[in-house]
Structure 1
């Protein structure tokens, strides 16, 4: 849901501003002495593309005084949005990095505490899987309670599509993949060329050959499969952000069903080729 309808409703609340603006506990945390101004959200600020408004307020709610600074800091959070850990992740982050500019208001509008909390609860498991905590600058207790004079979460009646079981966040990802290898038929290393719905499933087409480590009886072998497609069963009814990142190396565990290769567990690999090589060497030494 975009923020244009929200803008209209906020303008209708203008007459209450003088009474409530000074009550925001968040209002003193990050404000800069620099005079606030409206700036067009640059096309290069990928985090806030299609956020529902075109102008942002500077300084923003994180104390960034310039577009360059806001843009540089915001870019670090684009991968989290791509994980689709919550439908309002972009909405929350952009309310801080690129807050909507409403000239009618003296103070910028922070995100509501409830918006922060649902995004935090949805995304902390994903961040923890990569060793990152929820940052103190996003501490939800500093944002206003309730849903007035702050940016709320979306309230659409449509049900949010769940995350695919195969793509749910890991605790210790490498350990879990290693421990579960022997319960599967293969492990595959690939990059996604395309991913699309095929019946009720999702078809995953790799970019170039895929390295497949096969479990055969009591030994482990490997081979390259050239452009063989994989299937994520029931992938049409759930989301898997990992399959929407073409440049990311993925590791997946799967099973063979006739001539089909089914993916059961998927993780993105983000720690470098050297570490990946050592991890795969350890998989090859397993005795299943």
Structure 2
């Protein structure tokens, strides 16, 4: 007797969707993608994760130091900017922005004897400008939002 073939579970295709994360709703873009860079599949999974909880209390833990920089950086990992074309894909934040925040905030983490959060690992979750990246700190500097592309030493912001 032959059994009917089992249907594989539906794949979780990446799709762009509106950001509905209360702590990350003021980013300079409005659409994100799931799964995110950490592999979290949904807004609910992000909101119930330790990373989101840490972002929600970090201001108090660090006595206001590094805010809002650290929150914007963290939100850019948990709710990365979504690029629709040619197919939905996350746009990683710029490694240089991560390194600047880490340099400026490292002492605050040391002051409370806390390690730098793993999900803000500049080498692992961030991209170089030559790869195309998003600067989550642009609004703090008054820079235009967009994706940074460097080609032939010319800077393009889309």
TM-score, reference length from structure 2: 0.65
* Segments of 4+ moved more than 4 angstroms: none
| Map of 2:3 onto structure 1 | none
CA contact (8 A) 2:92 2:134 kept: yes
The structural deviation recorded for 1:110 is 0.8
| Map of 1:40 onto structure 2 | 18
CA contact (8 A) 1:112 1:144 kept: yes
Counterpart of 2:141 in 1: which secondary structure?
Answer: coil
The structural deviation recorded for 1:87 is 4.8
The total of aligned residue pairs comes to 124
The structural deviation recorded for 1:81 is 4.6
1:69-218 alignment, distance < 5 Å: 69-73=45-49, 74-81=52-59, 83-85=64-66, 87-106=68-87, 107-142=89-124, 143-146=126-129, 149-152=132-135, 153-154=137-138, 156=141
- For structure 1, which runs of at least 5 residues remain unmatched after alignment? 1-32, 159-288
* RMSD (CA atoms): 2.6
Higher strand proportion: 1
TM-score, reference length from structure 1: 0.38
**2:37 aligned to which of 53, 61, 85:** 61
Relative distance call for 1:105 and 1:131 in structure 2 (3 A) is farther
Q: Distance in 2 between matches of 1:157 and 1:55?
A: 21
Q: Distance in 2 between matches of 1:51 and 1:157?
A: 13
| Map of 1:278 onto structure 2 | none
Q: Distance in 1 between matches of 2:86 and 2:47?
A: 24
The structural deviation recorded for 1:86 is 5.2
Q: Distance in 2 between matches of 1:135 and 1:90?
A: 12
Larger radius of gyration: 1
| Map of 1:248 onto structure 2 | none
